[in-house]
Amino acid sequence: MKFVAFVFICLAIIFGECSTPISFGTLKQINAGELNVGYVEAGPADGPAVILMHGFPYDIHSYGDVTPLLAAAGYRVLVPYFRGHGTTTFLSSRTPRTAEQSAFALDIIALMDALKIDKAILAGFDWGTRTGNIIAALWPERCKALVSVSGYLITNLVANLQPLPPQQEWAWWYQYYFATERGELGLTNPQYRHDLGNAIWKFNSPRWNYTAATYNQTAAAFTNDDYVAIVIGNYRWRQSLVKTTPRYAALEKKLAAAPTIGVPTITLDGELDPFTPAGDGSVYRTKFTGKYDHRALQVGHNVPQEAPEAFAQAVIDVDKF
C-alpha cells in the first residue's frame, strides 16, 4: 500500500494535480535550544525520521512535493525553518543572532533532541547541504544516512579567502553585495529583499518555470524579524569579515580540517545549477568514505522543488544502503 500511495502521488505531481502554491502539512512549533522552531511534520509518527533542510533564498516549501512522497512511503518527515526564517524565532531578545555554519547544525541537533529523535536521515541543498554535512561529519551517531545536493559544502574560511575564476566570482555577486553597507540596506528594504530573492531564483534555476505564487509563498518566510541579521551575518562570516563567536570556535576548528563523512550518502548535482562543480561529483568524491552513490539531474539549484520525485527516491534509496 505504501508503494501504491507513493506512485499515486508521483503521478499527481507529474500531471500537475498538486496545487500551486503548495500546502503540505500543518505548521508546528517547538522550543529547541535557543529557538522556537517552526516545522512541518508529515507521515507516521513511528516511521523512520527524515529531516529536510532548505537553503537561501528558499524555505520549507522547497519540499512541498517531496514531503507527501516520503510520508506515503512510511517516513516521519520533518521540514524545519532555519533560524531567521518563517516562524522560527529566538526565545530571548538577548541571544546574539549568530550565523556561523555550526550554529545551524546545533539548531538541528537541538530540534532532534526536543522531538526525542536519536537518529535521522538528513537531506538538504544549499545551506541545508552544509548543515547535513556538518552533522554527518561531527555527530555521525545522529545521522542514519545523508542526501547531499552539491556534495560537500562545509565552509573552510582560509580557502574562502582565495579568489575564484572570474565567472564563478560573478555568480556570487550577492555574497559581495552583502559584505557592504549598501547590501545590508538593500536586504532591509522589503521590496528589494523580495526582488533580490526572485533574481537569485531565476539565475540559479534557468529552466525552472515557477509561478509568482510559488515564489511569493516562499518569500513570506523572508519577513522574519531576524532574517536580515542571519543572512548578512552568515555571508560576512564566510568571508571572514566577522569573527567566529567563541562558543562555536571549537566546532569551527574541527570543520576547518575538512572532516570526511562516513555515513551512507547519495550526492545529487543539478547540472543546470551555475554553482555545480564540473566533473560529475569527482571534486568532492574523496570526502565521502562510506557507502555512496552520485546522481546528476537536469535541473537547477533548487533540486527538491525542481525534481521532487528524484529527490524523494534518493532518500528512500540511501536508507537501503
Report yes or no on 287 lying in a domain. yes
Quick one: pLDDT at residue 5? Answer: 46
11 located within any domain:
no
Query: Are 109 and 86 in contact, with CB atoms under 8 Å apart?
Result: no
Distances in Å between the Cα of 72 and the Cα atoms of 3, 77, 84, 274 are 8, 10, 30, 33
Domain assignment present for 17? no
Closest to 311 measured CA to CA, from 133, 129, 149, 120:
149
Which residues are within 8 A (CB) of 308 and not within 5 positions of it... i.e. 6 or more apart? 13, 63, 65, 66, 69
pLDDT, position 277: 85
Q: Are strands 76-80 and 49-53 parallel, antiparallel or unpaired?
A: parallel
For residue 18, tell me if it sits in a domain: no
Q: Domain range for residue 219?
A: 26-319
- Asked if residue 204 is part of any domain, the answer here is yes
Residue 203 to residue 210: CA distance in whole angstroms: 13
Residue 212: C-alpha distances to residues 148, 216, 284 (Å): 28, 6, 35
What percent of the chain is modeled with pLDDT above 90?
90
As for how many domains the chain has, the answer is 1
The answer to the question of residue 19 being in a domain is no
What is the model's pLDDT at position 23?
A: 66
pLDDT tens, 106-117?
999 999 999 999
Helix (H) or strand (E) holding 77: strand 76-80
Answer whether residue 7 is part of any domain.
Answer: no
Residue range 72-81, pLDDT digits in tens:
999 999 999 9
- Residue 5 inside a domain? The answer is no
Q: Which three cell numbers stand for residue 171?
A: 555568480
For residue 148, what are the contacts with CB-CB under 8 A and spacing of at least 6? 123, 124, 129, 132, 133, 265, 266, 267, 268
- Residue ranges of the chain with pLDDT lower than 50? 1, 3-21
Report how far residue 135's alpha carbon sits from residue 102's, in angstroms, rounded to the nearest whole number: 9
Give this prediction's pTM.
0.93
Which pairs from 173-177 meet CB under 8 Å and 24+ separation? Answer: 174/200, 174/235, 175/235, 175/238, 175/239
**What is the per-residue pLDDT for 17?**
38
155: domain CATH number? 3.40.50.1820
